[in-house]
Structure 1
Amino acid sequence: MSTTVRPDLYPTRIIGESVPQPRTDPTVWGEAPGPLDSRQLNQYESRGYLVLDNLLTAHEVEIYLAELQRLSEDAALRASERAILEPESEQVRSVFEVEKVSELFAELLRSPRLTDIARQVLDSDVYIHQSRVNYKPGFGGAPFHWHSDFETWHSEDGMPRPRAFSVSISLTENHPFNGPLMVMPGTHKSFIPTIGETPQDYHKESLRVASPSVGSPDRKHLTRMAEKHGIEQITGPAGSAVMFDSNLLHGSNGNLSPFARSNIFIVYNSVENTLEAPFSAPKPRPQHLSNREFPAT
């Protein structure tokens, strides 16, 4: 009896030496008109990210900050698996699947100002693969180590191809000193396999510790990529946003300042790129981390 071997275009979590491979998929998937002009699309295609100024008004920022505070004070939510706590302070680090716990955030995540961009870039209907709010409080918000989101979504969630992107919407000002997003522009065009097998229930470690044991490129490859592409910090006022490709290398430093760096984070995936069985993990991550039950957005 013959069995069909599932193709894996981006093998990772390997044993041995990691050899980067060129990305075989586009970053902008179509040519349909939409909110982004040709200059913005070209920048996103070449650099792997695009800053969206003034996505929210000052009034909207106030409303969403109040909602952010409300969620952090919800004892039942804090005790649930949707909430991730800071490793040192036990303050709330992130709350996942926010469209299920906040009507305000659900309305924003499904609003045309975001979904029209997603449909244009991904050239299909889209859905929310993952959502969360990140608090990154002052005096202790922990760092996020360098990684490609797609490497995790492919290996642990079963996302076949990098036909997805993230939007990070700032609810507080991003200063150089409060742990803003850092990116290596252009690294989305190379896929870097990581070393080591995925442990059982690995998300319980990887979402909370500063340097997870697997899932990040080694220092040799990170150094080479930084030397070739450079590192840029994404700073700017509350209400601005940045969209970035699922395979772009990014991370952030810890926040030693008194000023929180809080944001809304949404991942849009193509309905033509829905999740399969994980490519390099014992079982899929929970629903609140990787959406398998969705309507098109």
Structure 2
Amino acid sequence: MKLTPEQLAEFAEQGYIFLPEAFTPEEVEVLRREAEQIYRSDRPEVWREKSGAPRTAFAAHTYNEAFRILGAHPRLIEPVEQFFGEKLYMHQYKINAKAAFDGEVWQWHQDYGTWARDDGMPEPRAMNISVFIDEVMPINGPLMLIPRSHTQGTLPAGHDKQTTSYPLWTLDHDSVAKLVEEGGIVAPTGKPGSVLMFHGNLVHGSAGNITPYPRKIVYLTLCAVSNHIRKPTRPEWIAHQDFTPIETVADDALTAYARSGRLAAE
């Protein structure tokens, strides 16, 4: 999948683009089913909220075939290769849960702030590209973005280890208020299978989910190989140290996997 010149220009200006329903219901269903199975497992890669509800599952591409395929899918890899002009490696991979009723906040932050401070990533030549596994609605804790905030560079941040179960380099209220005054806030919503791609310095966060509707999103953090991390401080399954360039799978690989599973069950 290639981005159009108009999409590339929109990304450069706004810091994100949204691609509705880039994956089919059949492809999404196998991911949803296997994500729920992963959340039920007792793995160190699965982090939980204080309530015990799943918060995120790291490195699923290393122990689950469906998510391995997704992590090398051309609909996700090719647009980012196009943007950076070189091959990519997987810096981080996670399935964020935002569980029904119990999903907690993700404070306002920039992803590159963490990648630079905790992992020694030289430049913001990495970004998140996400796939909606559930429908993301205005009411179930959608990701909120501050358009054009990526143009401000890497902002000062404090290391918040208390608010949630996941430590995060967060922005203070005054900084967020100033950015919002200039750029506003958007919250992309859409059907399962939609894709959101955003700059590593785009400021974003999400509120808690007190609805009965879960909101699972897969995030691939794709980094230019030449920009690999230099001073990792986090476990390898959080900040990967295998800088092998990603080779894409066939475009129908996820569909083939989903159908092979159904045939085996029959």
Match of 1:234 in 2: 188
Match of 2:55 in 1: 93
- Aligned pairs, how many? 246
Give, in angstroms, the shift of residue 192 of structure 1. Answer: 4.4
State how 1:1-297 maps to structure 2 within 5 Å.
Answer: 35-75=2-42, 77=43, 80=44, 82-87=45-50, 89-195=51-157, 208=165, 215-277=169-231, 284-297=233-246
Q: Which SS does the other structure have where 1:165 is aligned? A: strand
Contact 2:128 2:221 in 1 (8 A): yes
Give, in angstroms, the shift of residue 182 of structure 1. Answer: 0.3
Give, in angstroms, the shift of residue 252 of structure 1. Answer: 0.4
Which deviations, in whole Å up to 9, do the C-alpha atoms of 1:185-204 show, x marking residues without a partner? 000011243255x69xx6xx
Distance in 2, matches of 1:207 and 1:163, equals 28
Contact 1:145 1:251 in 2 (8 A): yes
Q: TM-score, normalization: structure 1?
A: 0.79
Q: TM-score, normalization: structure 2?
A: 0.88
Which deviations, in whole Å up to 9, do the C-alpha atoms of 1:217-260 show, x marking residues without a partner? 21111110000000001111111010001100000010011000
Distance in 1, matches of 2:113 and 2:163, equals 13
Distance in 2, matches of 1:206 and 1:215, equals 11
Distance in 2, matches of 1:192 and 1:36, equals 26
Read off the aligned partner of 1:147 and give its amino acid letter.
H
Read off the aligned partner of 1:220 and give its amino acid letter.
D
Over 2 Å off, 4+ runs: 191-196
Equivalent pairs: percent with the same residue? Answer: 32
Distance in 2, matches of 1:117 and 1:129, equals 16
Distance in 1, matches of 2:157 and 2:125, equals 23
Read off the aligned partner of 1:264 and give its amino acid letter.
V
Read off the aligned partner of 1:84 and give its amino acid letter.
W
Match of 1:9 in 2: none
Considering fraction of residues, name the structure with more helix: 2
Which deviations, in whole Å up to 9, do the C-alpha atoms of 1:248-289 show, x marking residues without a partner? 0000010011000011111100001011126xxxxx111111
Further displaced range: 98-107 or 214-223: 214-223
Distance in 2, matches of 1:132 and 1:119, equals 20
Contact 1:192 1:217 in 2 (8 A): no
Give, in angstroms, the shift of residue 207 of structure 1. Answer: 6.5
Contact 2:154 2:201 in 1 (8 A): no
Which deviations, in whole Å up to 9, do the C-alpha atoms of 1:127-172 show, x marking residues without a partner? 1100011111111100100000000100111011000110111011
Which deviations, in whole Å up to 9, do the C-alpha atoms of 1:99-131 show, x marking residues without a partner? 112111011111222111121011111011000
Read off the aligned partner of 1:39 and give its amino acid letter.
E
Contact 1:182 1:231 in 2 (8 A): yes
Contact 1:138 1:258 in 2 (8 A): yes
Which deviations, in whole Å up to 9, do the C-alpha atoms of 1:67-123 show, x marking residues without a partner? 111111223x2xx1x111012x11111000111121110111112221111210111
Q: Which SS does the other structure have where 2:95 is aligned? A: strand
Q: Where does the alignment leave 5 or more consecutive residues of structure 1 unmatched?
A: 1-33, 279-283
Distance verdict in 2 for CA 1:98–1:185, change over 3 Å: same
Distance in 1, matches of 2:157 and 2:136, equals 32
Give, in angstroms, the shift of residue 292 of structure 1. Answer: 1.1
Read off the aligned partner of 1:138 and give its amino acid letter.
A
Higher CA-based Rg: 1
Distance in 1, matches of 2:112 and 2:49, equals 23
